[in-house]
Amino acid sequence: MTPSLRPIGIFDSGLGGLTVFNAVRRLLPRENLIYFGDTAHVPYGSKSAAAVTAYSLEIARFLRGKKIKLLIVACNTASALALDELRKNLDIPVIGVLEPGVRRAMAVSKTRRIGVIGTEATIKSGAYTRKIREIEPSAKVYGLACPLFVPLVEEGWWKHRVTRLVASEYLNRLRPAKIDTLILGCTHYPVIKETIARAAGAKVELIDSAETVAQEARELLNARGLARKTGKVKIKVYVSDDPARFALRAANLPAGRLGSVALKRFS
């Protein structure tokens, strides 16, 4: 198969990566896409680095078997913990969600005081702090785990007062840090972006990695002559557990039509 005709593979622990999937679909409307949601292991945010790396490699091998030309790790936890291993083990380009988000934050921030919210595992890994300090060693980085955001998004309480209350409880902890830029370090969070923005305060700029990841994917494909420009588009979605539940939940997210969801269980 001509390399440019091959699909792009996108994976996440579950639903959150659909925000990235959606952005990629909008920016690269002619690309064939395969989405993988690891619903047997969701959430990654409370799992160990060893476990998340093993799951990520298994999914990457499966997608590689489907002849993908590019792998997008649409999960911040997997990007924080498994990106190096994935790059070591794959012969195609791999894009994570951390680096594009960090670059965008550094372009936007004036005070160099940057907040990062994400899952426990992402924040604990310190991956964001390292990436930001690589670009600017003097930057101040304030990481905060927000473990209830993912369940609230999954529950569909996107504008619920409980979500507002949880958001202000979490974001208040960042007040003393006086950040001017806040990275949404979890692909679930863009779904409740408005609530988070209000809790963070009007002076704080929010960085949604989904958009920047899709831009990075477009640039990479164009630079390598791998972009698909015409033709009918095929979308394929796999999950590792309970396709019906995934389809039902996904229908409530701004991800467009997914078609049927297939089951791929790993033993």
Q: 141 pairs with which residues across the strands?
A: 114
> Pick from 23, 139, 152, 214: which binds a copy of itself (CB under 8 A)?
152
67 is written with which tokens? 């002849």
> Pick from 3, 30, 111, 155: which binds a copy of itself (CB under 8 A)?
155
| Whether residue 146 lies in the annotated active site | no
> Pick from 5, 107, 135, 162: which binds a copy of itself (CB under 8 A)?
162
Number of alpha carbons in the 13 Å side-chain half-sphere of residue 17: 31
Per CB under 8 A, which region of 21-29, 41-49, 72-80, 107-115 contacts a copy of itself? Answer: 41-49
When asked if residue 58 is in the footprint of a copy of itself (CB under 8 A), the reply is: no
Q: Are 13 and 201 in contact (CB under 8 A)?
A: no
Per CB under 8 A, which region of 39-47, 66-74, 104-112, 227-235 contacts a copy of itself? Answer: 39-47
When asked if residue 253 is in the footprint of a copy of itself (CB under 8 A), the reply is: no
> Pick from 13, 19, 22, 39: which binds a copy of itself (CB under 8 A)?
39
Query: Among residues 75, 132, 139, 253, which one is catalytic?
Result: 75
95 is written with which tokens? 């894009």
Question: What is the β-pairing status of strands 181-184 and 205-208?
Answer: parallel
Tell me the per-residue interface mask from 165 to 184 with a copy of itself, x by CB under 8 A, - otherwise. xx--x---------------
Strand arrangement, sheet containing 33-37:
94-96, 70-73, 8-12, 33-37, 235-239, 261-263
Residue 116: closest CA among 152, 140, 87, 148: 140
Backbone angles phi, psi at 231, to 5 degrees: 105, 165
Radius of gyration of the chain (CA): 18
Task: State the Cα–Cα distance between residues 113 and 180, nearest whole angstrom.
Answer: 6
226 is written with which tokens? 């791998």
When asked if residue 51 is in the footprint of a copy of itself (CB under 8 A), the reply is: yes
> Pick from 20, 42, 78, 206: which binds a copy of itself (CB under 8 A)?
42
**Footprint of a copy of itself on 227-246 (CB under 8 A):** 241-242, 245
Active site residues per annotation: 75, 186
Residues of this chain that interact with a copy of itself (CB under 8 A) are: 39-42, 46-48, 50-51, 147-148, 150-152, 154-155, 157, 161-162, 165-166, 169, 241-242, 245, 265
